[in-house]
């Protein structure tokens, strides 16, 4: 219950309180913005108006009205309203308030609303101290946090509460808040007038932060001698600039904003938009992001989304990372910008990423497929019975039609090259070279003696070249020669290669 002394104390506090504190709304109708959270028909508005509030966690960026809504609850509820700050509060403070709340409930049936500002700053044991009291409704918890509660608040406490997310104020809502503060008796009381350019400058600087906008207004007004309602003093854009010379957009190093901005940066490069990539890069640089973190993400992106459409992209990203290790800001910004724009402009292919993921799915979910005997290592007893492995360098174009996949898998099942950039050129060149190789007589294997050496080449019983050891110890051989072109792949193999060469869109079959 308010007394004469309480009113005097409140008046003295208000006289020295910042403008943002003096302008806190007293009713839900005075809350600017947040119509989705506390607008007509919303759950929270109905709960406040009927005084049937259950535990709630208010989550949103700074300056969006979390504390203001808590004070509206305090003004409208018949329950006792107790405030604890997580910055300096301890477990003993919480237990003291919970014990007092239990006594109120038992003696006078009075509920207690416990407001915990910056609840994410409580450690796990402090949050656990609230669990039973919240579950038994000894207290109704109203928590406020700028951090994602699903990461920063105990899941057990989350399950006992409702999470209400608040959004940045729109430019129009910030302007309305400024006009109200200029005219209201609790604010500047009409002693100043804000011109259009000054209002626009404050709105721009605020970036959706209502508290920040009111703080800037108060600082700018402090640059001017106050006027009267009849003759208000003008606050100009120059006053706003002098009061806040540097604009600082919100950014954090390991929370939601950090991941949102890097996500937008990666998606902009993937979407081949160099302007967007530069904007999000600038947001990270201005926020003091570690340049090595930015360069690492570009290296990943260069392989995942550019791949073999432009293999240079990975080298450019790697060069940017190595440069970031030895060159700091501000010069490092140029190197990062060069790499980001190169990657954004590069042709795109995710064939490598999609191919390895498809192969991993097969390995993890498919049957255990055996290595074909002719591909196995030869350094073991009995390896002479494995069969002959064809040595590609003994054939035109250093290629021979031979199965390398295990049984049950066919060419093109994993790697599906794009039709862009170097990847498309390389696939087409490979197909062309293999078709041409089928029409050219292969050179005699270097490992086999020729007629000029005075000895006939070693042959198997079926006429194929005998196996010869390679540098890694594997025995290799060439296939049975075509009758018209000794030592060349057979007509069947050539025909098969030519037929498969046209099917690149369904997988790399050549």
Indicate whether 393 belongs to any domain. yes
In this prediction, residue 453 has a pLDDT band, given cuts at 50, 70 and 90, of very low
d(CA 373, CA 287): 58
Indicate whether 422 belongs to any domain. yes
Identify the CATH number of the domain in which residue 283 sits. 1.20.272.10
Domain count within the chain: 4
Please tell me whether residues 157 and 202 are part of one structural domain: no
d(CA 276, CA 162): 36
Answer with the one of 243, 277, 297 that is the final residue of a domain.
Answer: 243
In this prediction, residue 182 has a pLDDT band, given cuts at 50, 70 and 90, of very high
d(CA 138, CA 111): 7
Please tell me whether residues 108 and 55 are part of one structural domain: yes
Indicate whether 109 belongs to any domain. yes
The whole-number average pLDDT for the span 368-394 is 87
Question: What is the percent of the chain where pLDDT is above 90?
Answer: 46
Please tell me whether residues 89 and 132 are part of one structural domain: yes
Please tell me whether residues 397 and 317 are part of one structural domain: no
Identify the CATH number of the domain in which residue 185 sits. 1.10.8.60
Instruction: Give the pLDDT of residue 442.
Output: 44
Please tell me whether residues 161 and 65 are part of one structural domain: yes
- Please, what is the average pLDDT of the chain? 82
Indicate whether 23 belongs to any domain. no
Choose the weakest-confidence range: 32-41, 307-316, 431-440. Answer: 431-440
In this prediction, residue 483 has a pLDDT band, given cuts at 50, 70 and 90, of very low
Choose the weakest-confidence range: 96-100, 378-382, 482-486. Answer: 482-486
Please tell me whether residues 46 and 72 are part of one structural domain: yes
Indicate whether 375 belongs to any domain. no
List the end-to-end C-alpha distance of the chain, in Å, as a whole number. Answer: 87
Instruction: Give the pLDDT of residue 447.
Output: 43
Q: CB neighbours of 150 closer than 8 A, spacing ≥ 6?
A: 158, 163
Instruction: Give the pLDDT of residue 480.
Output: 41
The whole-number average pLDDT for the span 89-118 is 89
Closest CA to 507 of 421, 422, 440, 409: 409
Please tell me whether residues 153 and 216 are part of one structural domain: no
d(CA 286, CA 257): 13
Indicate whether 192 belongs to any domain. yes
What does the DSSP 8-state code read for residue 89?
A: -
Instruction: Give the pLDDT of residue 243.
Output: 87
* Residue 416, domain extent: 385-445+463-506
pLDDT > 70? residue 405: yes
Indicate whether 42 belongs to any domain. yes
Answer with the one of 345, 363, 394 that is the final residue of a domain.
Answer: 345
Answer with the one of 145, 165, 185 that is the final residue of a domain.
Answer: 165
The whole-number average pLDDT for the span 163-171 is 92
Indicate whether 356 belongs to any domain. no
Please tell me whether residues 287 and 218 are part of one structural domain: no
Please tell me whether residues 473 and 500 are part of one structural domain: yes
Please tell me whether residues 264 and 238 are part of one structural domain: no
Please tell me whether residues 201 and 232 are part of one structural domain: yes
Please tell me whether residues 42 and 140 are part of one structural domain: yes
Kindly report the pTM of this predicted structure: 0.62
In this prediction, residue 90 has a pLDDT band, given cuts at 50, 70 and 90, of confident
Is the distance from CB of 10 to CB of 22 less than 8 angstroms?
no
């Amino acid at each position: 219950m308010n007394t004469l002394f309480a009113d005097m104390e409140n008046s003295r506090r208000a006289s020295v309180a910042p403008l943002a504190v003096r302008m806190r709304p007293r009713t839900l109708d005075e809350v600017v913005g947040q119509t989705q959270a506390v607008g007509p028909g919303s759950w929270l508005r109905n709960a406040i108006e009927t005084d049937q509030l259950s535990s709630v966690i208010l989550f949103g960026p700074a300056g969006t009205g979390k504390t203001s809504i808590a004070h509206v609850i305090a003004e409208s509820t018949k329950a006792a309203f107790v405030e604890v700050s997580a910055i300096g509060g301890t477990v003993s403070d919480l237990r003291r308030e919970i014990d007092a709340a239990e006594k109120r409930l038992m003696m006078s049936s009075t509920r207690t609303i416990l407001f915990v500002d910056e609840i994410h700053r409580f450690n796990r044991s402090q949050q656990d101290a609230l669990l039973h009291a919240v579950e038994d409704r000894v207290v109704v918890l109203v928590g406020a946090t700028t951090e994602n509660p699903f990461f920063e608040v105990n899941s057990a406490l989350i399950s006992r509460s409702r999470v209400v997310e608040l959004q940045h104020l729109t430019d129009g809502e910030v302007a309305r808040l400024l006009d109200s503060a200029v005219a209201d008796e609790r604010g500047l009381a009409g002693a100043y007038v804000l011109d259009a350019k000054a209002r626009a400058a404050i709105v721009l600087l605020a970036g959706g932060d209502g508290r920040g906008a009111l703080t800037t207004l108060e600082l700018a007004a402090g640059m001017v001698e106050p006027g009267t309602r009849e003759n208000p003093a003008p606050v100009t854009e120059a006053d706003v600039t002098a009061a806040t010379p540097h604009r600082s957009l919100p950014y954090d190093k390991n929370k939601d904003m950090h991941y949102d901005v890097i996500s937008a940066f990666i998606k902009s490069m993937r979407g081949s938009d160099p302007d967007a990539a530069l904007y999000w890069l600038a947001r990270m640089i201005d926020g003091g992001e570690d340049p090595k973190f930015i360069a690492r993400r570009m290296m990943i992106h260069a392989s995942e989304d550019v791949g073999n459409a432009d293999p240079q992209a990975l080298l450019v990203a790697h060069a940017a990372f190595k440069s970031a290790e030895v060159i700091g800001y501000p010069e490092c910004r140029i190197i990062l910008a060069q790499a980001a724009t190169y990657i954004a402009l590069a042709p795109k292919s995710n064939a490598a990423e999609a191919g390895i993921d498809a192969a991993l799915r097969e390995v993890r979910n498919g049957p255990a497929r055996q290595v074909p005997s002719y591909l196995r290592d030869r350094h073991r007893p009995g390896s002479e019975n494995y069969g002959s492995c064809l040595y590609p360098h003994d054939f035109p174009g250093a290629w021979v039609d031979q199965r390398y996949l295990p049984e049950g898998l066919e060419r093109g099942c994993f790697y599906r090259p794009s039709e862009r950039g170097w990847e498309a050129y390389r696939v087409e060149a490979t197909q062309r070279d293999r078709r041409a190789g089928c029409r050219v007589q292969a050179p005699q294997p270097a490992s086999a003696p020729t007629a000029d050496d005075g000895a006939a080449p070693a042959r198997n019983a079926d006429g194929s070249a005998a196996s010869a050891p390679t540098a890694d110890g594997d025995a290799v051989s060439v296939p049975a020669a075509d009758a018209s072109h000794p030592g060349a792949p057979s007509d069947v193999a050539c025909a098969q290669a030519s037929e498969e060469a046209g099917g690149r869109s369904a997988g790399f079959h050549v």
